[in-house]
A and B are shown apart, each in its own frame.
Chain A
């Protein structure tokens, strides 16, 4: 059974940093691209970042470029998102999502981890 379990969300002050983690199991982690998607309270889904299966290629939304860094450790089956220079409007639930591999889409999602940015 595919499982994705995010952690690392917390209350942080503006300008602060966090490292989000997503522990994966039930599939060959190193074979799939992975993504982070966030959802601000009461708002829609926003793609944040993606990473290739090997980790060599990364992609970022303009809204987070230069502040967030995606990475993965295929030996630990874990995806990461380092979030720096946090702003109040970064407050959101952050989901990790697995790429389908066969089709262009995200077939499995974690339950999300909440990042709250407030003074």
Chain B
């Protein structure tokens, strides 16, 4: 089974900051990685697919990169509505998949 790790587990940042979250897969998953944002009490929101492609309607301040085992989600110009927890999802064997443990983003 593919294992996913994320770092950091939490981050506090100010409005306007650039935030970078890293996700690592235990084996090569090519570019089959997605990112989700989840706010407390809500369902996850699909942000990025195939490592770097923004889902329709997602602000351009979100970007993704990486391939193989190492991936990055970057939020540039952090906004107050960007607080929440971010999860990566390996989709190498979709519709079987594994989520990373999550990264909580607090806005100062």
Contact = CB atoms under 8 A, between A and B. Distances in A.
Interface of A: 33, 35, 37, 44-47, 50-52, 59, 62, 95, 97, 99-100, 103-112
B66 interface: no
Contacts of B32: 104
Interface of B: 1, 32, 34, 36, 38, 42-46, 49-50, 53, 55, 85, 87, 89, 91, 94-102
B101 A33 contact: no
Given A47-B97, A99-B94, A106 B87 contact: no
Given A95-B43, A109-B44, A104 B55 contact: no
Contact of A105 (B1, B34, B42): B34
Given A59-B95, A112-B43, 6 more contacts: A46-B99, A47-B96, A104-B32, A104-B97, A105-B46, A105-B94
A100 B102 contact: no
Contacts of A45: 36, 38, 44, 87, 89, 99, 102
A44 B43 contact: no
Nearest to B47: A105
Nearest to B91: A104
A2 B30 CA distance: 30
Counting chain B CB atoms within 10 Å of each CB, the highest count among A44, A62, A104 belongs to A104
Contact of A110 (B1, B43, B95, B96): B43
A103 B99 contact: no
Contacts of B45: 109
Contacts of A46: 99
Contacts of A103: 34, 49-50, 53
Contacts of B1: 62
Given A44-B87, A111-B43, A104 B49 contact: yes
